[in-house]
Chains A and B, each alone.
Chain A
Amino acid sequence: MMLESIQTSLSLFQPEIVLCATVLAAILVDLIFRRRPVIVAGTVIAGLIVTAVLVGAEVGVRARIFSGMYVLDPFAHFFKFVILGSALLIVLFSLASKELKTAPKRLGEYYMLLASMTLGMVLMTGASNLLMMYLALELTSISSYIVTGFTREARDSSEASLKYVIYGAVSSGLMLYGFSILFGLTGTLGIYELNQSLLSMPSINWTALLIAGVLALAGFGYKISAVPFHFWTPDVYQGAPVTITAFLSVASKAGGFAMLMRFLKVTFIDLASSTQLASGIWAMMQGINWPLLLAVVSVATMVVGNFVAIWQDNLKRLLAYSSIAHAGYMLMGLVVMSNQGFAAVLIYFVAYLFMNLGAFYVVMLVANETGSESIEEYRGLGYRTPLVGVSMAIFLFSLTGIPPTFGFIGKLYLFAALVNQQWIWLAIVGVLNSVVSLYYYMRIVRNMFLKEVDGRKPLVPISIPVPSAVLLIFLVIPTLGLFLYFGPLVDVAQAAVSMFGF
C-alpha cells in the first residue's frame, strides 16, 4: 500500500526528477569538460526542455502525491511553465553575457545553480505542506545567494550577496516561526488539513492565528519583495549579474506568488460557507481581514516601488524598484479573493515574463558593450541601434501598460477584477500608480530617442550578434502579439485557478 502510493507519486513526479537529474548532470559535465561552460549550458537547456515536455504531459492531471506533501493541479502547471520558460530564456541570455565571462572557471557552476534554483521554484508551485514550502523556498534562496555573489570580483556583488543572505535568513526564520504556531494550533502541516482543522475547531485563538499569518506573510513577502520586506531587493538586483537579476525578478517572484496564493486560499478559505464558489468568489475565515491586510501591503508596495524608481539613474536599480511596484500590482489581484483576481495575476505573470525579461535583456546587451548600466549610456540608443532602442521602448510601454502591448491586457484584467468586486479605491490607487510609472519609464525612452546626442561621444552603434537580435525579436513578438489575440491565454489562465477537487 505504502509502496504503491510512493510508486504513483514518483510517476507523477517525473518532471522534478528530471530537473534533479539535470542539476547532477550539470555538476558531472562541468567536472568532465573543464572550462567548457557552453556544454554545461547545453545540458541545462536540454534538461529544462525535457522537464517542460514532461510537465506538458501532465497537464490536466490533478493529484496529491507523497502523502499530501505536493500537489499537481492546473495552477501549479501554469506557474511551472512560467518558471521553466524564464529559466530557459535566462540560460540563453547568459550565453550572450560578457559580464559572466569575468569568472570563466566557475561558469559551469553558475548553470548548475540556475538549474537548482529552478528546481526550488518548481517545487514552490506545488508545495502543499508547510514543511515542503519551507524547504522549496530555502532551496531557491540558497542557490540564489551564491549566484548573486557570482561575479566575486565586483564589490557590489559580494555586498549584495551578503545582504541577501541576512535578509533571507531573518525572513525565513520569521516564516518558520509562523508555521510552527500554525502547527501548534492545529497539529498538522498539510495546508488542506490545516484548513479543515481550523474550520472544525470550536474556538480558535485568533491572536495566535493572526500572528502566525502575519509571520508567514513575512516569508512570502520577502520572496515577492513586497513592502516592508523589500529592502534587500534594490541592492541585490543592482549587485547581482543582470541575468540573475532578471531571473529573480520573474521566476523567483512567480514561485513566491504561487506559494502565497495557494497558502492563502487553501488555508484560510471557508469552504463551508463558500456557497458562491461556483461564482468564483470565496469566503474567507472569520478573524483575519486578509483582503484589507493585503490591500495595505499592495498599496505600500506600489507606492514605494514607483516613487523611489523615479530617482534612479542605474537601470538595474530602476528596474528593481519597478519590479517591486509590479509585485504591488499583482498583489491587488489577491486582495479581491476571487478566481477572477487570481486569473488576472496569472495573465499578468505571462506579460511580465516577456516584458520584464526583455527589458533586462536590453540592459544586458548594452552593458555588454559599455560595461555600465547608467541611464546615460542609453543616450541616443534609438539612433545608434534602432532595433535595441525600439525593442526597449516596446518593453517599457508594456511595463507601463499602454496599448497596443500585452502589458495593457495584464493590467486590464487586474483592474477588471478589482472593479468587479467594487474595490474602487484600490483600483484608483493602482491606475494612478501606473501614471507615475510612466514618468520613469519614459525617462529611459527620452534618453534613447529625445536627447540630443552631444558631440563628446561619437555615435557608436552597439554591436548585436545575430542570435541576440533573434532572441530580442522573439521577446518583442509576444509582447505585441498577445495584445491583439489574448483569448486562448486567458482561457488557460482561467482554467488554471482551481486548487480544489482532487
Chain B
Amino acid sequence: MSFQILGIGILTWLTFLPVIGMLFLLLLPKKSADAVRWTSLVVTFLQVVLAALVYVYFSRSLGGINTVAGMQFVEKATWIDIKSVAWFGRVHIDYFMGIDGISGPMVLLTALISFVGIIASWNIEKAVKGYFALYLLLDTGMMGVFVALDFFLFYVFWEVMLLPMYFLIGIWGGPRREYAAIKFFLYTLFGSVLILLAMLALYFSSSVYIDPQTGVFLAAEAGRAMGITPIHSFNLIALMDPTNFTPGSLLAGIGTSSRYIAFIALFIGFAIKVPIFPFHTWLPDAHVEAPTAISVILAGVLLKMGTYGLLRVSIPIFPDAFRAYAIPLAILGVINILYGALAAMAQTDFKKLIAYSSISHMGIVVLGIAAMNTQGVSGAVFQMFNHGTITAMLFLIVGVIYDRAHTRGLNEFGGLANQMPKYTGVMSVAFFAALGLPGLSGFVSEAFSFLGAFAVFQTLTIIAALGIVLTAGYMLWTLQRVFLGTLPEKWKALPDINGRELAALVPLAVIVLFLGIYPSPMLNMMNASVNTLVKFVTPVTAAAALGF
C-alpha cells in the first residue's frame, strides 16, 4: 500500500523531515539556542507521529523480504538513468524505498530514539546550532538506511551517517574524543568500503529485466520471453533472486567461492557496526567519549544497522553462503555474549560497563539470526528493538548521574537509593530489563532467541546461556555499588532526577514494561516477514539437512 502526504510518500517524509528541519534551523539566528532546541524537538516529534501512522497502517499479513508486492509504503522513482552505451550497459539507480516486518520495528525505534535523544541533548551548551543540525542529519541517515531498498541508496545513507557521527563525538565528546571519533570513523569506513566492493560485484553480476513500458522488474523468464535486454541493477529485491544473475558472471551460481568471499566482505562491513568480536574495539571508546544523547543513538540505533544489514542484504542475497557459515556466525554470537559480559564485569567506569553490555546483548541478536528459524529471528529482531530501548535508558541513566557528580566511577558511589529515590526506581526498571527479568521486554526477546538457537545449536546455546547469569551478576553488582551501602559524604547534596530527564526516560520505561507483558503488537508486526525470510533462506531441503 502507499500512503502519501502532500503527494509525497510517508517514507520520504520520515527520512527527509529532519533535513528540512536542519535547513530551517540553519536559518535561525546564532544566539537563539532555545529556538534551535524546540525546532529539533518539534521535528523529531513529527517524525514520531509519522512513525506512529506507519505503525497503524502497517499490514501485518504482508511478508516482504524478497518480493516487491510484499513491501509496504513503497516509493519508487528513477534517480540516475544513464542510457545505454554499448560497452557499459544502462546504469540504473532507483530511489526505491519500502518497509516490511524487519524494517518496520527499526523505523519505529529510530523515530523514538531520535526524539528521546533530543530531550537528552537539552543541556548541550557548546555550539548548539551545529550540534542539533548534525543530529538531524544523522537522523536522516539512520532512517534512510532502514527504508532503502536499492543497494546504492542504502549505501549512501549508510555513509552519510558517518560524517555527523564523527563530528558529534569529536566536538561534543569527552576528553579523549578526538581519538574515539577518528577510531570510529576509520573502523566504519573500513567496513563500508568492503560493502562497496561487494555491492559493485553484485551489480556487475546481475542482469535484471525491466519492462520498458511500466518500468517494473520482471522475472527472468518472462523478460527473456519478451526479448528485453537485461540491465545491471542495485535493486536489493532483484538481487535476492538467483535467476537475476548473468550466467558465468562473478557472483552467479550457488555456493561458489566468489559468493562466499563477497558474503564475508559484506559480513565484515556489517559486523563492524554490530559490533561482532573481534571488530568491537571502537565501541567502548566511542561510547565513553560520546555525549549522552549520542551514546543513546549509537547504542539505540546504529548498532542495529549492522544486524539489519545482515538480515536485509547479506543473508537473503547469499543464503547459500549464510547456510555454510551459520555455525561460525553462531560461535561469534556466543563469543560476543560471553566476552561482552565478562568485560562488562571488569569495568569500573559506568559507561564502559554499559558499552560492553551492549556487545553482549547484540551477541544474542547474532545468535538468533544464525539459528534462522521463526523463533530465533523473531527473537533477534525483537531483541534489536528491545535492546534499542533498554540500552537507551541505561545510557540516559549514566548521563543523569554524570551530569550531577561529574564522574562515572562505579566505586565512588553508594547508597544513592535514599538520596535519589525516583532515579533508583527508573534505573531498576532498566537494569532488570537488561538482565532479562520476566515481565520486562528484554526477557521475551532473549527467551525467543535462545529458544530458536537451542533448536539448532544445542551445545552453543547452553554455553551462551551462561551469559545470562553473568549479565545478572554484573547488573546486580552495579545496582549494589551505586544504590546500596553507605552514601559518601560528597554526594549528600545530589538532587534527584528532574522533569526533563524523566520525560526522556518514562516513555521508554513504559514501552519496556508494556512489551514485557504484552509483546504481541511488536511480534505481530514482524511475524509475516520473519516467516518469509526463514522460508526463503532455508528451503525445506536445506532445513532438513540442518536437522530441523
List the interface of chain A (C-beta within 8 A of B).
Answer: 278-281, 338-340, 343, 383, 397, 400, 402-404, 408, 412, 415-416, 419-420, 422, 424, 427-428, 431-432, 434-435, 438-439, 442, 446, 449-451, 485-487, 490-491, 494-495
The one of B80, B86, B196, B200 in contact with A279, judged by C-beta atoms closer than 8 angstroms, is: B86
- Contact across chains for B182 and A415 when beta carbons are under 8 A apart: no
The one of A340, A431, A439 in contact with B88, judged by C-beta atoms closer than 8 angstroms, is: A340
Question: What is the total number of residues of chain B having a CB less than 8 Å from a CB of chain A?
Answer: 37
- Contact across chains for A279 and B87 when beta carbons are under 8 A apart: yes
Query: Complex: how many Å from CA A343 to CA B186?
Result: 29
Query: Which residues of A have CB within 8 Å of B163?
Result: 397, 402
Give 18 pairs: A residue, B residue, CB < 8 Å, sorted on A.
A278-B87, A338-B87, A383-B127, A402-B163, A416-B200, A416-B204, A424-B201, A427-B197, A431-B196, A434-B193, A435-B186, A438-B189, A446-B178, A449-B167, A487-B91, A490-B91, A491-B83, A494-B85
- Contact across chains for A446 and B170 when beta carbons are under 8 A apart: yes
- Contact across chains for A431 and B85 when beta carbons are under 8 A apart: no
Query: Which residues of B have CB within 8 Å of A424?
Result: 197, 201
Query: Complex: how many Å from CA A279 to CA B89?
Result: 9
Query: Which residues of B have CB within 8 Å of A339?
Result: 85, 87-88
Evaluate whether A432 and B193 lie within 8 angstroms (CB atoms) in the complex, with A340-B87, A495-B85 already known: yes
Query: Which residues of A have CB within 8 Å of B405?
Result: none
Query: Which residues of A have CB within 8 Å of B182?
Result: 439, 442, 446
Q: Is B298 an interface residue, CB under 8 A from the partner?
A: no
Query: Which residues of A have CB within 8 Å of B87?
Result: 278-281, 338-340
- Contact across chains for B193 and A449 when beta carbons are under 8 A apart: no
Query: Which residues of A have CB within 8 Å of B171?
Result: 449-450
Query: Complex: how many Å from CA A418 to CA B201?
Result: 10
Q: Is B156 an interface residue, CB under 8 A from the partner?
A: yes
Residues 177-193 of B at the A interface (beta carbon under 8 Å): 177-178, 181-182, 185-186, 189-190, 193
Q: Is B159 an interface residue, CB under 8 A from the partner?
A: yes
Query: Which residues of A have CB within 8 Å of B343?
Result: none
Query: Which residues of B have CB within 8 Å of A486?
Result: 80
Query: Complex: how many Å from CA A424 to CA B166?
Result: 30
Tell me the minimal C-beta distance from B26 to chain A in angstroms. 11
List the interface of chain B (C-beta within 8 A of A).
Answer: 80-83, 85-88, 91, 127, 155-156, 159-160, 162-163, 166-167, 170-171, 177-178, 181-182, 185-186, 189-190, 193-194, 196-197, 200-201, 203-204, 250
Query: Complex: how many Å from CA A72 to CA B82?
Result: 26
Query: Which residues of A have CB within 8 Å of B167?
Result: 449-450
When C-beta atoms are compared, the residue in chain A nearest to B200 turns out to be: A419
- Contact across chains for B170 and A450 when beta carbons are under 8 A apart: yes
- Contact across chains for A422 and B250 when beta carbons are under 8 A apart: yes
- Contact across chains for A415 and B189 when beta carbons are under 8 A apart: no
Query: Complex: how many Å from CA A297 to CA B182?
Result: 30
- Contact across chains for B162 and A402 when beta carbons are under 8 A apart: yes
When C-beta atoms are compared, the residue in chain A nearest to B158 turns out to be: A403
- Contact across chains for B88 and A487 when beta carbons are under 8 A apart: no
When C-beta atoms are compared, the residue in chain A nearest to B170 turns out to be: A450
Evaluate whether A428 and B85 lie within 8 angstroms (CB atoms) in the complex, with A397-B163, A442-B185, A450-B178 already known: no
Tell me the minimal C-beta distance from A27 to chain B in angstroms. 44
Query: Which residues of B have CB within 8 Å of A403?
Result: 155-156, 159-160
Residue of A339, A419, A434, A491 ringed by the most chain B CB atoms within 10 A: A419
Query: Which residues of A have CB within 8 Å of B197?
Result: 415, 419, 424, 427-428, 431
Query: Which residues of B have CB within 8 Å of A431?
Result: 193-194, 196-197
The one of A408, A450, A491 in contact with B82, judged by C-beta atoms closer than 8 angstroms, is: A491
When C-beta atoms are compared, the residue in chain A nearest to B261 turns out to be: A424
Evaluate whether A494 and B170 lie within 8 angstroms (CB atoms) in the complex, with A422-B250, A438-B189, A439-B186 already known: no
Query: Which residues of B have CB within 8 Å of A428?
Result: 197
When C-beta atoms are compared, the residue in chain A nearest to B198 turns out to be: A419
Query: Complex: how many Å from CA A422 to CA B194?
Result: 15
Residue of A339, A450, A495 ringed by the most chain B CB atoms within 10 A: A450
- Contact across chains for A419 and B201 when beta carbons are under 8 A apart: yes
10 nearest interchain CB pairs? A280-B87, A431-B193, A419-B200, A450-B170, A403-B159, A420-B204, A403-B156, A494-B85, A435-B190, A279-B87
Query: Which residues of A have CB within 8 Å of B190?
Result: 432, 435
Query: Which residues of A have CB within 8 Å of B194?
Result: 431
Query: Which residues of B have CB within 8 Å of A419?
Result: 197, 200-201, 204, 250
Query: Which residues of A have CB within 8 Å of B170?
Result: 446, 449-450
- Contact across chains for B80 and A415 when beta carbons are under 8 A apart: no
Tell me the minimal C-beta distance from A5 to chain B in angstroms. 33
Tell me the minimal C-beta distance from B537 to chain A in angstroms. 26
- Contact across chains for A415 and B91 when beta carbons are under 8 A apart: no
Tell me the minimal C-beta distance from B365 to chain A in angstroms. 27
Query: Which residues of A have CB within 8 Å of B203?
Result: 416
- Contact across chains for B82 and A278 when beta carbons are under 8 A apart: no
Query: Complex: how many Å from CA A338 to CA B86?
Result: 12
11 extra interchain contacts, Cβ-Cβ under 8 A, other than A397-B163, A424-B201?
A340-B87, A383-B127, A419-B201, A419-B250, A427-B197, A427-B200, A435-B186, A435-B189, A438-B185, A446-B182, A450-B178
The one of A281, A415, A450 in contact with B177, judged by C-beta atoms closer than 8 angstroms, is: A450
Query: Complex: how many Å from CA A431 to CA B269?
Result: 13
- Contact across chains for B86 and A280 when beta carbons are under 8 A apart: yes
When C-beta atoms are compared, the residue in chain A nearest to B172 turns out to be: A450
Query: Which residues of B have CB within 8 Å of A281?
Result: 87
The one of B81, B166, B181 in contact with A487, judged by C-beta atoms closer than 8 angstroms, is: B81
Query: Which residues of B have CB within 8 Å of A338?
Result: 87
Query: Complex: how many Å from CA A280 to CA B193?
Result: 26
